[in-house]
Amino acid sequence: MSDRIETLADQMTLEEKVSILSGEDFWSVPSVARLSIGKLRVTDGPNGARGGGSLIGGVKSASFPVGIALGATWNVDLVREIGAALADEVKSKQAHMLLAPTVNIHRSVTNGRNFECYSEDPILSGELAAAYIIGLQGQGIGATIKHFVGNESEIERTTMSSEIDERALREIYLIPFEWAVKKAQTWGVMSSYNRLNGTYTSEHDWLLSDVLRKDWGYDGIVMSDWFGSHSTAESVNAGLDLEMPGPPRDRGQKLVEAVKSGAVSEATLNQRVIAMLRLMERVGSLDDVRTFKEVADDRPEHRALIRRAGAEAAVLLKNNGALPLKGDGRIAVIGPNAKIAQIMGGGSAQLNAHYRVSPWQGLVDAVGEDRLSYAPGCTNHRFEPVLRGSFRVEYFANEKLDGAPAYVGTQDDAQAFWIGQVAEGKVDPLHFSARLTGSYTPETSGTHRVGIYSAGFAKVYVDGKLIADAWTNWTKGRTFFEEGCDEVVGEVALEAGRAYEVVIEFATKDFATLGLAAFAAGIGLPLGDDAIAEAVRVARNADTAIVFIGRNGEWDTEGSDLPSIELPGRQNELVAAVAHANPNTIVVMQTGGPVEMAWIGSVAALLQAWYPGQEAGNAIVDVLVGAAEPSGRLPQTFPVRWADNPAHSQDREVYPGFEGKVRYEEGIFVGYRHYDRLGLTPLFPFGFGLGYASFTVSDLVIDDAEFEAEGNVMVGVTVTNTSNREGSAVVQLYVSDDAASDPRPAKELKAFRKVKLKPDEVRQITMTLDARAFAFYRAKAKHWLVEDGSFTLRVGLSSADLPLSGTVTRNTTLMLPV
């Protein structure tokens, strides 16, 4: 602790100390003017820096590839570079901390937020998280790794208790956070919404004090997720430094009184204050007295980095010689994601990107529009397409649309996410109503679907007639972080070319956990059999058909798990029909995780492209035409069917949860560990990915001279590029305990290395294993244990392709502290 921090803490009054332990508003911690302590500002991440604006609109920002895409790169150097670039983005939004990275484990393939997290494996997640944090904090911007811990589902996440035994916590779910603390010295940790074994994580003494601070030596701050604090004395005493957002609900005067009454000791309060002052010193906010003005900083170097990273994240899962594209033949461009740039998932990670490049535009730029033909084939949206156009918005300082408007404004589409200040402060953000008036002119005549969903009460009128009513019988659903209703849809016959008046009425309602008001209204015309028939015709008349399918941020989103891993809508039917019409069919998939693929045997190639950020179309097309190598490898096992996933169970308490509990019954057997345990063959294994280059690994050398004394082992291997193209191999090292006293996985990833090689290049690489790589956690004894006996080391290019193996042996046991 610096002398300055100690002096400031001594000079602060009780009220001043308490003031910096909670937010002032949605994105900042207040200044202490008397002592010239500046304001601390934070911004959401992790695939960009949104700034202080809403989830919709706001100052534009760079949109980077999402977490699972970065996980697929297996490239710690690239992720560190992205962390540094994101520091630039945070500075452009005049903030000091980024609420990122997200490192929860892919326990279930249906988790709506898997797209935001790196992997099903804790070592891959931990190494990438550490790199991200080092890159970010190396530029003076604080990281806030999240969500600590057990937030592996979005179902009732603000109240659900994740029932996880300590061994599974230590070996799987805590490791990314432990690596962030021990390897990257993260400055911030965010507690999760959920309870852990019955206690909210924001007031979990064992988690925040024993594990984080005592076991790992953490000296940063713990902040609550937004509205994720539930108590005053309990959270402060357990180790929660900062309640967000502000104004405070559980602190402020309540905390002042708790200190005066002795419920919180002055010593404990000072620990929290010192932690906050130390953070402010680290990020430079102590002396930051500038006027905060956010800017859109669209840098060429960030554009280039996003494009490169998006291409590197792409995983080539099948290729019968169709890729890279060859010749100058005609290309049929088909599918719901062809002309729409799916660049990110939904929820708090979304932002207003500088721009969005669709696959269609990327192909036009790469090969010319004259070679292309297009058919959408079907839709894949979860909600009716948001109505675009100018709307007049009248805001009322009551919830009944009564009297004269308190404020009149405009907005560009029929959606809103109101948090913090609304209508320039003319209405209470939690108690107001609004009327939006605009128009819609359909391109095609027919029966249109009108949809509305809202966190609040809402109605949609078309030419004065009520079409969709999410007001009269409003019921809580799975939208807007579970504060909103499910979409209510009505139908109306519309004529092409005629302008219809659209009026949307909205009023706030009491919230459950998150104080927000929001709605989205859309109008769509369903696509039928004729659309698939047109796609077949277009495919039949082309040399190559590329089908762009998947999901979008309506499906892969915070606040809602997926109902299944089937492709939405008629996409399976579309792929099967196109592949039947043209055997040279390439599928480009954009999802936040696996899908079931009954058609996989009939297509020539499959590229998994995730959500690669604002350069999506360019990055995808770089891979399709061969300008970039698809060097991504799966960070999550793709099962044949959802039922093969470890969290799938007939017992609702295992998933999705029952009566407030979700039981992690599989323990440490998550992801590939589960498939190995049951002998299940996945559709595509963990760590798998093809490429345009090919590689071999050979000449395994194991140096175990320090294994007996220290538990350390050095592993060397030769990697050879056996092709005529430059490319990258991901060498993976797995460890097996041959005769463990406790159940252990058949193998576990413990080290990896991405290697870029020129044609015919040969390189020797070395990977290091420490004692923890061989240990398992003994919950009763409270230590890690490396047992005596033999361990098998396996090296290869995926969890199912491990041609090299060797054995190391210990004669004694080795106990390691937590």
Q: Please give the residue range of the domain that contains residue 802.
A: 695-816
Q: Report yes or no on 292 lying in a domain.
A: no
- C-alpha pair distances (Å), 270 with each of 13, 16, 267, 273, 276: 11, 12, 5, 5, 10
Q: Which residue reads 């030596």 in tokens?
A: 217
Structural tokens at position 307 = 């494009």
Listed range (36-50, 53-67, 148-162) with the worst mean pLDDT = 53-67
pLDDT tens per residue, range 215-250: 999 999 999 999 999 999 999 999 999 999 999 999
91 and 208 belong to one structural domain: yes
How open is the CA angle 206-210-213, to the nearest 5 degrees? 130
Average pLDDT for 757-781 = 97
- C-alpha pair distances (Å), 183 with each of 63, 72, 132, 749: 27, 21, 11, 18
Total structural domains within the chain = 3
269 and 407 belong to one structural domain: no
Average pLDDT for 786-801 = 98
* The 3-state secondary structure of 345-366, one letter per residue: CECCCCCCECCCCCHHHHHHHH
Spell out a b/e string for 549-564, using b for 16 or more CB atoms within 10 Å of the CB, else e: bbbbbbbbbbbbbbee
Rounded Cα–Cα distance for residues 580 and 223 (Å): 54
268 and 395 belong to one structural domain: no
- Which is the catalytic residue, given 44, 121, 225, 644? 225
Last residue of some domain: 283, 309, 330?
283
Structural tokens at position 700 = 């395994």
Rounded Cα–Cα distance for residues 558 and 555 (Å): 9
Spell out a b/e string for 630-644, using b for 16 or more CB atoms within 10 Å of the CB, else e: bbbbbbbbbbbbbeb
pLDDT tens per residue, range 531-558: 999 999 999 999 999 999 999 999 999 9
Structural tokens at position 108 = 């279930």
If you ran DSSP here, which 8-state letter would residue 214 be given? I
pLDDT tens per residue, range 367-395: 999 999 999 999 999 999 999 999 999 99
In percent, how much of the chain has pLDDT > 90?
96
Q: At what angle do helices 616-625 and 300-313 cross, to 10 degrees?
A: 50
Whether the pLDDT of residue 490 is over 80: the answer is: yes
In this prediction, residue 644 has a pLDDT band, given cuts at 50, 70 and 90, of very high
Q: What one-letter code names the amino acid at 390?
A: S
- Neighbouring CB atoms inside 10 A of 475's CB total 8
Q: Tell me, what CATH number does 231's domain have?
A: 3.20.20.300
If you ran DSSP here, which 8-state letter would residue 170 be given? I
80 and 218 belong to one structural domain: yes
Rounded Cα–Cα distance for residues 22 and 241 (Å): 8
Q: At what angle do helices 3-11 and 266-283 cross, to 10 degrees?
A: 130
132 and 254 belong to one structural domain: yes
Q: Report yes or no on 88 lying in a domain.
A: yes
Largest separation between any pair of C-alpha atoms in the chain: 84
Please list the alpha-helical segments (H only) found in 582-734: 616-625, 672-678
Q: Confirm if 375 and 538 have CB atoms less than 8 A apart.
A: yes
Q: What one-letter code names the amino acid at 121?
A: D
Q: Report yes or no on 310 lying in a domain.
A: no
pLDDT tens per residue, range 145-169: 999 999 999 999 999 999 999 999 9
Average pLDDT for 105-112 = 98
259 and 396 belong to one structural domain: no
pLDDT in the model for residue 1: 66
Decide: residue 811, CB within 10 A, 0-12 exposed, 13-18 middle, 19+ buried.
exposed
* Strand ranges inside 675-773, DSSP E: 695-703, 713-721, 727-737, 748-757, 762-769
Spell out a b/e string for 61-87, using b for 16 or more CB atoms within 10 Å of the CB, else e: bbbbbbbbbbbbbbbbebbbbbbbbbb
Q: Report yes or no on 659 lying in a domain.
A: no
Q: Residue 731 — left, alpha, or beta (φ > 0 → left; ψ -120 to 50 → alpha)?
A: beta
pLDDT in the model for residue 59: 93
pLDDT in the model for residue 421: 83
Average pLDDT for 205-213 = 98
Whether the pLDDT of residue 63 is over 70: the answer is: yes
32 Cβ contact list (under 8 Å, min separation 6): 12, 16, 19, 20
Q: Report yes or no on 65 lying in a domain.
A: yes
Structural tokens at position 492 = 């109306």
Last residue of some domain: 524, 540, 570?
524
- C-alpha pair distances (Å), 772 with each of 135, 172, 667, 751, 804: 25, 13, 19, 12, 22
Closest CA to 470 of 419, 504, 435: 504
pLDDT tens per residue, range 675-716: 999 999 999 999 999 999 999 999 999 999 999 999 999 999
Whether the pLDDT of residue 184 is over 80: the answer is: yes
Whether the pLDDT of residue 413 is over 80: the answer is: yes
In percent, how much of the chain has pLDDT > 70?
100
Q: Tell me, what CATH number does 520's domain have?
A: 2.60.120.260
Listed range (434-443, 506-515, 542-551) with the worst mean pLDDT = 506-515
Last residue of some domain: 509, 524, 539?
524
Q: Report yes or no on 164 lying in a domain.
A: yes
Q: Confirm if 397 and 433 have CB atoms less than 8 A apart.
A: no
Rounded Cα–Cα distance for residues 470 and 487 (Å): 8
275 and 421 belong to one structural domain: no
Rounded Cα–Cα distance for residues 523 and 502 (Å): 10
Q: Tell me, what CATH number does 765's domain have?
A: 2.60.40.10
208-214 own/partner pairs: CB under 8 Å, 24+ apart: 208/238, 208/239, 208/240, 209/238, 209/239, 211/174, 211/818, 212/148, 212/177, 212/181, 212/239, 213/239
Q: Which residue reads 């390439």 in tokens?
A: 586
Q: Report yes or no on 355 lying in a domain.
A: no
How open is the CA angle 633-637-776, to the nearest 5 degrees? 100
Whether the pLDDT of residue 514 is over 90: the answer is: no
- Average pLDDT taken over every residue of the chain: 96
Average pLDDT for 3-21 = 96
Q: Report yes or no on 487 lying in a domain.
A: yes
pLDDT tens per residue, range 88-103: 999 999 999 999 999 9
279 and 392 belong to one structural domain: no
Structural tokens at position 446 = 């027919």
Q: Confirm if 175 and 129 have CB atoms less than 8 A apart.
A: no
Active site residue 219: no
Q: What is the pTM of this model?
A: 0.95
